[in-house]
């Protein structure tokens, strides 16, 4: 019996090492190409976006006097220089619509989105100049902007592009307030943010509304929570209202992440030794109690059947959905175990005890990884239930008798057995 246990433990250790290698390979395939693939997604779809409020400025000529010394004589030079002054932003009314669209590259899903932006801003001309330049900096360099609207007091303004911005000039009389309306449709990746215009900025009479077509809303770190939120049929309506805010935080929305096939397959593979341990433990207990013979080579093929589940899952998720890959890998692995054990110990044991145990400890334990945050609890509950059942069915077993040497075999019943579980008589020449 001792030799058998050592052989089974050795097979378990080898299988565990194989799973460690497989898990490391999956994570390597996933994350080594992540930066490259994310760049490809950003170039095809768009990068993360951070929108800032537009700026209104005026230019004016002011005299500048400089003093220099030439040949011991003081020389005073007066020249005219251009000074740029920023007009105060009196109010902001911003409306944003976010539509989620996931895209897959390799073993990862990327959270891409469509955004519709509209902002109405009021600037007060506190200077004596009447020629005001309005500038809108776009939220990302790698993005497209469709249906661009840029009007001042309802009148379209001729635009000039300056790098990653659009600018236009309009006449605003001194002391009056101009209303700038900007709008566009664009696409982005991972998250959308609104920056108030500086590290620490003052905002007056501000209102922003964000509508989503997804339920799983989340806010990135260092962003402000909404003042109000209302759930709709397909998402949320969020609102931020501030009368006079001084803050270094932003407003932001993180797009929901889809279940990642690569990391999920990797975690399931690294957890596989736990599943195999419970399966081997239960098979050993049941066969010992019933006097059935499972040679260490039988355990080796069972471990190989378990490994086939994770190997097939790892390379199938590249081509089909994670749920379809999981279902196919489960069916293949269970079929291998049942079809093999029916030849070793009989169809009834293979389909009932072994098949059920594999379904619980391989399929159900692995499926617990689909429920983020509940995996550990599910495995713990399953482990405790297994311990309870095994303790109840073995409470009256005389283990000294089970492990005692039997005629024709070593300790623990290595003698041949028939399919009924009874030790078969030795056959002599």
**184-201, pLDDT tens digit by residue?**
999 999 999 999 877 777
**Confidence band of 239 (pLDDT split at 50, 70, 90):** very high
Q: What is the mean pLDDT of residues 195-224?
A: 88
Q: What is the mean pLDDT of residues 155-164?
A: 83
**Confidence band of 425 (pLDDT split at 50, 70, 90):** very low
Query: Which of 39-48, 156-165, 368-377, 385-394 shows the lowest mean pLDDT across its residues?
Result: 39-48
Q: How many angstroms separate the CA atoms of 312 and 334, rounded?
A: 13
In the chain, list all ranges with CATH 2.60.40: 48-254
Q: What is the mean pLDDT of the chain?
A: 85
The answer, yes or no, to whether residue 423 has pLDDT greater than 50, is: no
User: By the 8 A CB rule, do 211 and 228 touch?
Assistant: no
% residues pLDDT > 70 (the chain)? 90
b/e 149-160 (16+ beta carbons within 10 angstroms → b): ebbbeeeebeee
Q: How many angstroms separate the CA atoms of 61 and 55, rounded?
A: 20
**Confidence band of 27 (pLDDT split at 50, 70, 90):** confident
Q: What is the mean pLDDT of residues 14-30?
A: 89
Q: How many angstroms separate the CA atoms of 270 and 265, rounded?
A: 9
The pLDDT, as a whole number, for residue 33 is 62
Of residues 114 and 83, more confidently modeled: 114
The pLDDT, as a whole number, for residue 426 is 37
pLDDT digits (tens, 9 = 90+) for 249-303: 899 999 988 888 888 888 899 999 999 999 998 898 888 888 888 899 999 999 9
The answer, yes or no, to whether residue 11 has pLDDT greater than 80, is: yes
CATH topology of domain 48-254: Immunoglobulin-like (2.60.40)
Residue 402, both tokens? 């089970």
Global pTM? 0.68
The pLDDT, as a whole number, for residue 43 is 67
User: By the 8 A CB rule, do 57 and 85 touch?
Assistant: yes
The answer, yes or no, to whether residue 356 has pLDDT greater than 50, is: yes
């Amino acid at each position: 019996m001792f030799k058998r246990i050592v052989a089974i433990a050795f097979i378990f250790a080898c299988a565990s090492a194989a799973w460690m290698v497989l898990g490391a390979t999956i994570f390597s395939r996933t994350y080594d190409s992540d930066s490259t693939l994310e760049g490809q997604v950003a170039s095809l779809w768009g990068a993360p976006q951070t929108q800032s409020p537009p700026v209104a400025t005026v230019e004016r000529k002011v005299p500048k006097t400089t003093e220099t010394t030439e040949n011991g004589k003081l020389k005073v030079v007066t020249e005219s220089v251009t000074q740029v002054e920023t007009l105060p932003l009196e109010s902001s009314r911003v409306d944003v619509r976010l539509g989620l669209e996931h895209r897959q590259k390799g073993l990862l899903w990327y959270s891409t989105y469509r955004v519709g932006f509209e902002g109405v801003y009021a600037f007060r001309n506190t200077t004596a100049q009447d020629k005001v330049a309005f500038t809108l900096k776009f939220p990302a360099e790698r993005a497209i902007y469709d249906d661009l609207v840029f009007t001042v007091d309802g009148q379209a303004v001729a635009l000039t592009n300056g790098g990653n911005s659009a600018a236009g000039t309009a006449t605003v009389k001194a002391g009056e307030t101009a209303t700038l309306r900007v709008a566009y449709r664009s696409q982005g990746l991972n998250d959308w943010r609104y920056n108030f215009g500086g590290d620490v900025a003052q905002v007056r009479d501000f209102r922003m509304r964000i509508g989503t077509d997804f339920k799983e809303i989340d806010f990135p770190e260092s962003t402000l929570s909404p003042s109000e939120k209302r759930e709709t049929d397909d998402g949320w309506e969020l609102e931020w209202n501030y009368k006079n805010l001084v803050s270094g935080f932003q407003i932001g929305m993180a797009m929901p992440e889809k279940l990642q096939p690569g990391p999920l397959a990797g975690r399931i593979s690294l957890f596989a030794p736990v599943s195999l341990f419970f399966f081997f433990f239960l098979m050993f207990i049941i066969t010992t109690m019933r006097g059935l013979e499972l040679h260490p080579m039988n355990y080796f093929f069972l471990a190989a059947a378990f490994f086939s589940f994770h190997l097939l899952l790892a390379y199938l998720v590249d081509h089909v959905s994670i749920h379809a890959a999981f279902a196919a890998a489960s069916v293949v692995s269970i079929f291998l175990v049942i079809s093999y054990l029916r030849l070793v110990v009989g169809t009834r044991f293979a389909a009932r005890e072994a098949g059920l145990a594999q379904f619980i400890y391989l399929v159900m334990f692995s499926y617990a990884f689909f429920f983020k945050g509940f995996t550990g609890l599910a495995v713990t509950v399953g482990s405790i239930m297994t311990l309870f059942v095994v303790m109840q069915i073995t409470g009256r077993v005389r283990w000294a008798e089970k492990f005692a040497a039997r005629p024709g075999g070593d300790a623990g019943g290595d003698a041949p057995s028939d399919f009924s579980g009874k030790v078969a008589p030795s056959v002599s020449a």
